[in-house]
């Protein structure tokens, strides 16, 4: 992973955690650029405390 790619990934995860009050990025979100749209959305919902399945 290039330095620019790593920095972009970190900024994306930081933004998601702030905007959506995510508990953390989760393992699958560490490579979010490799996820399709629906999987990405599902992962954000899983990490959001108000929408996480219990």
Residue 33 maps to a domain: yes
Tokens of 9: 């990934």
- The reply to whether 20 falls in a domain is yes
Closest to 31 measured CA to CA, from 53, 10, 52, 4: 10
Q: What is the pTM of this model?
A: 0.64
pLDDT recorded at residue 38: 94
Q: Is residue 53 part of a domain?
A: no
Tally of domains in the chain: 1
User: In which domain, by residue range, is 15 found?
Assistant: 3-47
Residue 54 is assigned to a structural domain of this protein: no
What is the tens place of the pLDDT at every residue in 15-44? 888 887 877 777 888 877 788 999 988 888
Question: Binning pLDDT at 50, 70 and 90, where does residue 9 land?
Answer: confident
């Amino acid at each position: 992973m290039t330095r620019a790619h790593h920095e972009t990934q970190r900024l994306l995860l930081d933004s998601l955690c702030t905007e959506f009050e995510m508990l953390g990025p989760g393992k699958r979100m560490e490579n979010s650029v490799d996820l399709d749209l629906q999987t990405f959305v599902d992962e954000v919902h899983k990490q959001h405390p108000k929408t996480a399945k219990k």
